[in-house]
Structures are given as structure tokens and as C-alpha cells.
Amino acid sequence: MKDAKICHGRGVLYGDIAEYSVHGPNRELNDWDPVEFADYVPFHDHMQVDQLFVADVPIKTLTSILATDALHTIASYHNIGTIDPQDHPASVVKLALSTHDCSNCPRFVSFWRFKGRTPLNENIEFPPTPLSVEKTHNVITACATDLLPGKCGRARMRCMRNAHTVSKFNTVA
């Protein structure tokens, strides 16, 4: 098994746990699809659910990607003492799980769901209705206030007024 290559701050992506998949998802996915932890159950108790997929992710990998409340649940399944969430911070739970030897534990699997994807609307009106005169006026006015007249007939953005910003982008002042 490989070490987790999780980029903290962006959440968990399907590519992070795809190699541990037991029952793959019911749809085509790419490695950049976001997923979230749903449940953790013994292997003999799991069954395929339409909206979830099952992965046999090692504890060390789960420790690096899950939130503290999920880690407390996993710790209780592995009989790692009674770790009270109010008394023990995430670092204590992570340390206990990362040093745990699962040789005497039954096999567990985790359920994952896809997040952030909404089904496409099949009733898209095309071509879209044209902008009203008021909206067109607002767009043109906003664009005109953001631009300054420049040399040689080139307009430039107002935010690029000072020489430092202009020279940074290699444009002619």
C-alpha cells in the first residue's frame, strides 16, 4: 500500500482513495472529483448502496484525511480506549490511530459519497434570452468605469494604473 498523498486544504478527491476501492462507483469518475466520508463498518456487514461506494482505506491514510469526529468513531471500532472527544484533541486521536496495530482487528471498510456535483438540468433554454436594455447598459457602464484610455488606442484596466503593476505585467505604460 502506498502512503497517502493528500493535499490538505482541498478536501479528499476520488483519486486519493481510488486504489482502495472495493466496490467502485456506479458512474464514470475522474481523479479530481471531490468525495466525502460517509461511514465506517465491518467488512462482513457492508453492502453496495447506490449513492455510495466502498473503499478499504488503511487507517494511516484515513487518519490523515478525516475530521476529528470521524476519527473518534473509527477509534471506538478499533477498541482504542475510551477517547472522549471533549478531553482529547485531534492530535491525540490521530497519534493513537496511526500507531495502532490492526492485526487483531476485523477488516473494516469505509463508505464514501460524492459531493459538490449536482445533476445537470435537462431543460436548458437555448439560445438564452437576450439581455434587457437596462442590463446591457449596466454591463457597458461597468466595463467603461474599469478601463482607462491608453496610448495608441489601447485601453487598460484601472487597477493597472501605477507603474509597478504595469511593469510587472510587461505592458507599455
Scan for cell 437555448, then name that residue: 126
Peptide bond into 127 cis (omega under 30): yes
What pLDDT does residue 88 have? 64
Query: Does residue 172 sit within a domain?
Result: no
Instruction: Kindly state the average pLDDT of the residues 146-166.
Output: 63
Q: What is the pLDDT of residues 32-89, one digit of tens each?
A: 888 888 888 888 776 666 677 888 888 888 888 888 788 888 888 887 765 565 666 6
**Contact (CB, 8 A) for 113 and 39:** no
Q: How big, in percent rounded to 5, are the helix, strand and coil portions of the chain?
A: 40, 20, 45
The answer to the question of residue 79 being in a domain is yes
Work out the average pLDDT over 136-158.
77
The CA–CA distances, whole Å, from 131 to 19, 124, 164 equal 48, 17, 38
Residue 82 backbone zone (phi > 0: left; psi -120 to 50: alpha; other: beta)? beta
Residue with cell 437596462: 134
Domain presence at residue 161: no
Question: Is 97 contained in some domain?
Answer: yes
pLDDT digits (tens, 9 = 90+) for 97-107: 888 887 888 88
Domain coverage including residue 127: 1-155
| Domain annotation covers residue 167 | no
Flag whether 166 is in a domain. Answer: no
- Number of structural domains found in the chain: 1
| Cis? peptide before 130, omega within 30° of 0 | no
Mean pLDDT of the chain: 74
